[in-house]
């Protein structure tokens, strides 16, 4: 129950007004969004194979990264969020490994890389696309490293003794290839799936157009990101429409000039031959 309730907690409820209509289990959690913040790239972690790695090791491919913070043994919410993301990713033509990477960081100090290995095995099998295993990484770290990444992303969580589990929010974050927070993505209220277009455009935008199609980049020019999704922006649309009109008019004028030039030459040739 606690974890399901935490799905709807956002910064304005959990952080700015922690006592407003919230039970004690939900106070102090939620997301304090920090777009543009740089992750602690020098923070040490252990990957799913027991290898020491710096967080920055996962930001050397030039591709955006989808980041999940939670814990591998979460009995409800974390797994639902992971699988909701997988369902959404399956609907996209972008591929894990080719177009982006995945990072799952555990904040549970009791978990080990073996827990991460087992979790990864299940998630990669469900995603079921070639190359995913090389681009989906599960990390555990000491409290200092975990605290550094939760502080950088504004991710709040707490241990609830009466429930024997952690309370936290449901969120995925899109990180730029150089390790900066780009977008916070929340599951839709109707279920645990994420908005496919929002996820895709967030990855396209975070990569500065290096992934996705030309059409996706054009679409971004006409959309504005607000309240967790992209929507038509009148100003951008008008500017884009004006630019298209200008290009079209230029093409028409160019064709007309060429035709007039040909007609003028024909007349001259006719006069010369007469």
- For residue 245, the model assigns a pLDDT of 45
**pLDDT tens per residue across span 49-59:** 999 999 999 99
Give the pLDDT score at 220: 40
Contact 97, 61 (CB under 8 A): no
Q: Which residues contact 174 (CB under 8 A, 6 or more apart)?
A: 64, 65, 66, 67, 182, 183, 185, 199, 202, 203, 206
pLDDT score for 237: 40
Write out the H or E segment, with its range, that includes residue 255.
Answer: helix 234-273
Which runs of E-coded beta strand occur in 186-252?
Answer: 223-226, 229-232
Angle between helical axes of 214-221 and 234-273 (0-180°, round to 10): 110
Helix (H, G, I), strand (E, B) or coil at 267: helix
* pLDDT at residue 159, rounded to an integer: 87
The pLDDT tens digits along the chain (274 residues) read 344 444 434 444 444 454 456 666 566 678 999 999 999 999 999 999 999 999 999 999 999 999 999 999 988 889 999 999 999 999 999 999 999 999 999 999 999 999 999 999 999 999 999 999 999 999 999 999 999 999 999 999 998 888 888 888 899 999 999 999 999 999 886 668 898 888 988 898 887 744 444 443 444 444 444 455 545 544 444 444 444 444 444 454 455 555 555 555 554 555 455 5
Do residues 46 and 139 touch, judged by C-beta distance below 8 A? yes
pLDDT for the residue numbered 264: 52
Q: How far is CA 16 from CA 31, 69, 94, 272, in A?
A: 10, 21, 36, 85
What CATH number is given for 2-232 in this structure? Answer: 3.40.30.10
The per-residue pLDDT for 126 is: 96
Report how far residue 46's alpha carbon sits from residue 262's, in angstroms, rounded to the nearest whole number: 72
**How many Å apart are CA 249 and CA 243, to the nearest integer?**
10
């Amino acid at each position: 129950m606690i974890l399901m309730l935490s799905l709807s907690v956002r910064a304005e409820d959990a952080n700015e007004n922690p006592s407003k209509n919230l039970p004690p289990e939900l106070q102090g959690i939620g997301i304090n969004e920090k777009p543009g913040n740089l992750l602690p790239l020098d923070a040490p972690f252990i990957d799913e194979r027991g290898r020491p790695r710096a967080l920055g090791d996962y930001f050397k491919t030039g591709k955006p990264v989808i980041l999940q913070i939670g814990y591998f043994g979460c009995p409800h919410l974390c797994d639902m969020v992971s699988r909701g993301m997988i369902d959404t990713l399956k609907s996209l033509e972008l591929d894990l490994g080719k177009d982006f990477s995945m990072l799952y960081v555990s904040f549970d100090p009791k978990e080990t890389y073996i827990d991460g290995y087992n979790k990864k095995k299940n998630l990669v099998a469900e995603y079921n696309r070639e190359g995913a295993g090389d681009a989906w990484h599960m990390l555990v770290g000491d409290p200092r490293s975990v605290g550094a990444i939760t502080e950088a992303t504004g991710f709040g969580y707490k241990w609830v003794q009466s429930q024997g589990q952690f309370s936290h929010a449901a969120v995925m974050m899109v990180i730029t290839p150089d390790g900066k927070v780009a977008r916070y993505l929340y599951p839709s209220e109707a279920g645990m799936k994420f908005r496919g277009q929002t996820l895709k455009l967030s990855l396209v935008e975070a990569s500065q157009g290096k992934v996705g199609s030309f059409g996706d980049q054009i679409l971004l020019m006409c959309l504005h990101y607000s309240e967790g999704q992209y929507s038509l922006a009148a100003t951008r649309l008008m500017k884009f429409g004006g630019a298209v009109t200008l290009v079209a008019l230029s093409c028409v004028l160019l064709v007309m000039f060429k035709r007039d030039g040909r007609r003028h030459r024909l007349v001259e040739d006719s006069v010369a031959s007469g």
